[in-house]
């Protein structure tokens, strides 16, 4: 996903592998970028209907202005988390917090 403008909207949430999220603009969003907490790994044989664990995702060079939470990683019962997530070179200005875990940011 690149070059999107998201204003006063829930932002984006992703699951799965090898995404490149870059050069986007988020302003006044409740959660600008939500990193999914997967409940399966398709590469290891999980069903295609699972929330595939995010692996090898690049999040860079985005602009986040006055969002309630910039980046958020939520909890999931028996969640597998996410692996190799690279967050670099993002511009973050204002807002309540730039990083939230579990339910603290919602």
What's the pLDDT at 40?
95
Q: Is the pLDDT of residue 27 over 70?
A: yes
pLDDT of residue 106: 41
Q: 97: buried, middle or exposed (CB in 10 Å: 19+, 13-18, 0-12)?
A: middle
Mean pLDDT of 35-39: 94
Instruction: Please check the confidence at residue 80 and state whether its pLDDT lies above 80.
Output: yes
Sign of CA dihedral 31, 84, 1, 78: negative
Report the predicted TM-score, pTM, of the whole model to 2 decimal places: 0.88
User: Per-residue pLDDT for 2 more than 50?
Assistant: yes
C-alpha dihedral sign at 81, 82, 86, 90: negative
Average pLDDT over the chain reads: 91
Specify the pLDDT at position 66.
97
Among 38, 2, 3, smallest CA distance to 20 is for: 2
């Amino acid at each position: 996903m690149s070059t999107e403008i998201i204003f006063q909207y829930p932002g984006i949430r992703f699951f799965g592998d090898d995404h490149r999220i870059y050069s986007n603009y988020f302003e006044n969003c409740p959660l600008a970028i939500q990193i999914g907490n997967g409940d399966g790994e398709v590469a290891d044989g999980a069903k295609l209907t699972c929330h595939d664990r995010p692996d090898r995702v690049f999040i860079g060079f985005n602009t986040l202005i006055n969002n309630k939470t910039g980046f958020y990683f939520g909890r999931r019962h028996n969640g597998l988390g996410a692996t190799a997530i690279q967050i670099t070179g993002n511009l973050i200005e204002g807002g309540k917090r730039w990083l939230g875990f579990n339910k603290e940011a919602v």
